[in-house]
Structure 1
Amino acid sequence: MPLIPSLLRQTDAPYKTLMLSAACGLALSTSAFGHAGAHSVEKAALAAPSEVVDCTLENGEAAQCAKYVVKYLPDSLEIGPFCPATLDDEGGIWNWDGDEVGLYRIDGDFLKMLDAQGYTFFNEAGEVYSFDIRIEGPTEPNECISGSVDTDVEMTVLIPVTPVMAEEPAMLGTVSKIGIGLDGVPIFADAPSVLDTGHMPALDTCGGHVDPGGWYHWHATATDVNALFEKEGVDADCVNVEQDQTAQFGYAFDGFAMYGSREHDGSVPRGLDECGGHVGLTEEGSEPVYHYHASESFPNLPACLVGVVAQENFSTTASNGIGSASAPGGPGGPGPDGAGGPGRPGGPDFDAVAKTLGVDADLLRRTLIEAGGPRADLSEVAGKLGVTVDALQAALPRPGR
């Protein structure tokens, strides 16, 4: 089983156009890429000086990568709110995928709507059920998930300096690794659905939250999220991050730059491929380069990556959560879907475990991660998967196996 995500076939015309442009030399030579470098991430986020190091790409090629060791949270970034305390309070935001699908502010009206659908997040007094995923587990069938930070945690991120096109784009699923913001905050795809776990890992109004390991990360292009709120009619406002629809937000793990939903001149991007990228100008007088744009629906992040990522491109000193030594994926961090896989020390072969249990592998990954990874309550996981605890324990690898 490959370590990269499930791949899409090259049937999309824009992607074929991109590859044709590359073959014809349309600014896709190595000198024309918008490179990540030693000074691409702001100093307020760094736990150690950035540098360019030797690395190996997932396809086995030797390369150079920008190495960023970042803090649990940049010095200058304020976060929250996440879970409201009562039905009278306003929390963060949530992208609901059940009946009446859409992006919502987490408030009394939203939680009452979920209650009518069978998901009860509050008691008779109107107090909202919540738990701190870093230090405890849920006690109710439906709880809002918050997370306290661990100020000692650091993350190490590797971004290829010279992007390399993959043979096919790699699809990004739940909790997939996407990249790193210029502010030094890691970027991940969709958080686990309430429909799968019963619990809601609330995002703040800039589109981020705290991992079980105690560090903050994005689930949206935070520099362009207010435009999305306005478009979708959400009563929310990101005040902690400067908004600019034309600005670069960060770098994807394949090395290509990520921008807001508009071109440098304010126009709407044209010819976007299935991943949300294209070849175009990023500033006046620049050469056309491949780059991603934020979408106008949530989450406003790339749906797939066109380039090859570096091996062991994300790890953390946290004791649990994504990228930790004890989490699925082991010391090298999780696989691109946020979990481990063959060849990643410490991580179970989820496909093999799922086959043994007769369940969906992606559901198994999400359920284990949401339940706390290595600290997961196996009875809870077994219940959600519809299997016995004995069967689950027998299927999962024992430590050191």
Structure 2
Amino acid sequence: MPRPMITAMLLASTATMAAAHSESPIDQLSHFFESANVISGPEIVDCTLSEGAQTTCFSITVSTTVAPKNSTPGPWRPTNISDGPEAGGIWLQDGEVYDVDGAFISKLAEFYGDAEWQLFDPETGEIQYTGTLEACEAAARPDVDPAYQNHCVQCQIAYVADGSAITYVIPLDPVASERPTQTNQTGSGVAFNGVRLDGPAPVNAILGAYTIAPFDDCGGHVNTHVGYHYHAVTDCLDGAADADSGDGHGGQIGIAMDGYPILPHTDASGAAFTDLDSCNGHKDETGAYHYHAGAAGSNQILGCLSAQAGCVLEGHGNTCDASARPPRP
């Protein structure tokens, strides 16, 4: 099935459009995730959402030990302050996207107004980085090991344990919520290539240890728990989801954890939408609600979730009770 039909189906919710087309919701979801590294699913399961609603979800389990089929993650950081932008990825600050090239690393003290920044050897220009699994785990956490202050934090997909997976359990039809849910509690959703669309990166904790954890040009990096994941949506996803929904919104890039579709930041002409709510959502001319990914520099793919959220489960299994999830501070 061509992607325009998938986009239209998910804009109107999976179950609603299933009644109008010969393919089942599962068939349509299978087409939508055809570029993902799927281990099992999608399948229909019972689920309990974040505010206790009991409903029907789809469950899909994807591998976190291999790269997405449509892209090669990295590079993240240059090796020397003489390196150009092709040697590194990007960093997000105050709504802007910066190339993490050698010049950027060399000027961090000036950039942040703090002389303690010194990620490189002033004699050789070589940049300090986390080059092993042990270093990655010591630095890629809220309480960064002091030994890795003034380092570029770089983790590789090879560091993720063999057989690791993530299961997404997402409502087929969104269920109304009494209050928006912050995406630092749930993540934003999952892209059509099976990569997690995460909540905001903990930038304050990263910068507080004089570390930089760059994203690649697609807005992604790696940790050993969820593998490769996105904190920003760039044209890597916008370009891959090249079908238009028919109303100028552009092709769908993912599904939010509450079941609503996620579309690119801009419309098909490249213009940003001006009527989005605090969660980055609005209704189209048919009255169907959907989200648009935040600007790449915003460190916010979605501002929040408008409806009740499903579950992200590390590993296999599809038993979802999102109401039992402890709130994050």
Residue of structure 2 aligned with 1:61, choices 25, 29, 53: 53
Deviation, structure 1 residue 278: 0.4
Q: 1:95 to 1:266 in 2, by over 3 A?
A: closer
Structure 1 vs Structure 2 CA RMSD: 3.4
In the superposition, the TM-score normalised over structure 2's length comes to 0.73
Match of 2:43 in 1: 51
Q: Within 1, Cα distance between the matches of 2:80 and 2:14?
A: 55
Does residue 173 of structure 2 align to residue 162 of structure 1? Answer: yes
Q: Within 2, Cα distance between the matches of 1:303 and 1:268?
A: 15
> What is the identity, as a one-letter code, of the residue corresponding to 2:118?
T
Does residue 90 of structure 2 align to residue 93 of structure 1? Answer: yes
Match of 1:207 in 2: 219
Match of 1:182 in 2: 192
Q: Any gaps of 5 or more consecutive residues in structure 2?
A: 1-11, 19-23, 140-146, 243-248
> Matched residue of 2:174: which SS?
coil
Q: Which has the higher contact order (CA 8 A, sep 6+)?
A: 2
Match of 2:183 in 1: 172
Contact 2:47/2:55 (<8 A) preserved:
yes
Residue of structure 1 aligned with 2:74, choices 76, 80, 89: 80
Q: 1:267 to 1:206 in 2, by over 3 A?
A: closer
Pairing of 1:128-277 with structure 2 (within 5 A): 128-132=127-131, 134-136=133-135, 137-138=138-139, 139-149=147-157, 150=160, 151-173=162-184, 177-193=187-203, 194-213=206-225, 215-223=227-235, 242=240, 244=242, 246-263=250-267, 268-277=272-281
> What is the identity, as a one-letter code, of the residue corresponding to 2:254?
G
Give CA-to-partner distance per residue, 1:31-51, whole Å, 9 cap, x none.
Answer: 379x97542322542012321
> What is the identity, as a one-letter code, of the residue corresponding to 2:183?
L
Contact 1:262/1:268 (<8 A) preserved:
yes
> Matched residue of 1:47: which SS?
strand
> What is the identity, as a one-letter code, of the residue corresponding to 2:16?
S
Match of 1:112 in 2: 106
> Matched residue of 1:86: which SS?
coil
> Matched residue of 1:258: which SS?
strand
Contact 2:153/2:212 (<8 A) preserved:
yes
Deviation, structure 1 residue 260: 0.8
Q: Within 2, Cα distance between the matches of 1:225 and 1:109?
A: 27
Pairing of 1:310-349 with structure 2 (within 5 A): 310=310, 313-317=311-315, 343=324
Q: Within 2, Cα distance between the matches of 1:28 and 1:145?
A: 39
> What is the identity, as a one-letter code, of the residue corresponding to 2:216?
D
Identity %: 27
Deviation, structure 1 residue 61: 1.5
Contact 2:36/2:192 (<8 A) preserved:
no
Q: Within 2, Cα distance between the matches of 1:160 and 1:30?
A: 10
Q: Within 1, Cα distance between the matches of 2:107 and 2:224?
A: 27
Q: Within 2, Cα distance between the matches of 1:294 and 1:102?
A: 15
Does residue 273 of structure 2 align to residue 279 of structure 1? Answer: no
Deviation, structure 1 residue 304: 1.0
Contact 2:166/2:226 (<8 A) preserved:
no
Deviation, structure 1 residue 30: 7.4
Give CA-to-partner distance per residue, 1:304-358, whole Å, 9 cap, x none.
Answer: 1101012xx112249xxxxxxxxxxxx989x9xxxxxx955xx8x87xxxxxxxx
> What is the identity, as a one-letter code, of the residue corresponding to 1:183?
N
Match of 2:21 in 1: none
Q: What is the aligned length?
A: 277
Does residue 313 of structure 2 align to residue 303 of structure 1? Answer: no
Match of 2:290 in 1: 291
Q: Any gaps of 5 or more consecutive residues in structure 1?
A: 1-26, 227-240, 282-286, 319-330, 336-341, 351-361, 363-401
> Matched residue of 1:195: which SS?
helix
Contact 2:91/2:99 (<8 A) preserved:
yes
